[in-house]
Chain A
Amino acid sequence: MVTKRIIPCLDIKDKVVVKGVNFKSLEYAGDAIELSMKYYEEYADELVFLDITATEENRKTLIELVKEIAKVIRIPFTVGGGISSLENIHELIFAGADKVSLNTVAVKNKSLITEAAKKFGSQAIVAAVDINLVNDKYEVFIKAGKEATGIDGIEWCKELQDLGAGELLITSMNKDGTKSGFDLEFLSKVEKNVSIPIIASGGAGKKEDFRDLFFDTGITAGLAASLFHFNILPIPELKKYLSENGIKVRL
Chain B
Amino acid sequence: MITVLDYGAGNIASVKNVLDELKVDYLISNREMDLCKGDKIIFPGVGEASFAIRKLHLMNLFNLLRIIKKPFLGICLGMQLLAEKSNEGDVTCLGVFPGTIKKFDDSSLQVPHMGWNNIIHNSDNKLFHNIKSGELFYFANSYYMPENEFQIATSEYGITFASAMMRNNFYGVQFHPEKSGAPGIQLIKNFIELC
Contact = CB atoms under 8 A, between A and B. Distances in A.
B156 to A, nearest CB: 6
B14 A98 contact: yes
Interface string B107-149: 1011111111110000000000000000010111110000000
Given A45-B115, A76-B140, A166-B114, A96 B47 contact: no
A74 B156 CA distance: 23
Contact of B142 (A70, A122, A221): A122
B181 A94 contact: no
A67 B13 contact: yes
B89 to A, nearest CB: 10
B interface, over-half SS: mixed
A163 interface: no
A93 B11 CA distance: 6
B106 interface: yes
A166 B113 CA distance: 10
Interface residues on A, range: 35 or more
A93 B140 contact: no
B117 A2 contact: yes
B13 A75 contact: no
Interface string A115-133: 0001111111000000000
B110 A76 contact: no
A70 B10 contact: no
A22 interface: no
Contacts of B13: 67, 70, 94-96
Between B111, B116, B176, the greatest number of chain A beta carbons within 10 A of the residue's beta carbon is seen for B116
Given A1-B118, A167-B114, A76 B176 contact: yes
A44 B176 CA distance: 16
A95 B11 CA distance: 8
A95 B16 CA distance: 11
A195 B110 contact: yes
Interface in A107-151: 118-124
B11 A197 contact: no
Contacts of B9: 119-120
Contacts of A1: 117-118, 156-157
B118 A74 contact: no
Contacts of A76: 138, 140, 176, 179
B110 A118 contact: no
Given A119-B9, A120-B9, A122-B142, A74 B117 contact: no
A3 B115 CA distance: 7
Contacts of A221: 115
19 contacts: A2-B115, A3-B117, A5-B115, A5-B116, A43-B181, A71-B20, A74-B179, A74-B181, A93-B10, A93-B11, A95-B13, A96-B14, A98-B11, A120-B10, A121-B47, A123-B114, A166-B142, A195-B110, A195-B111
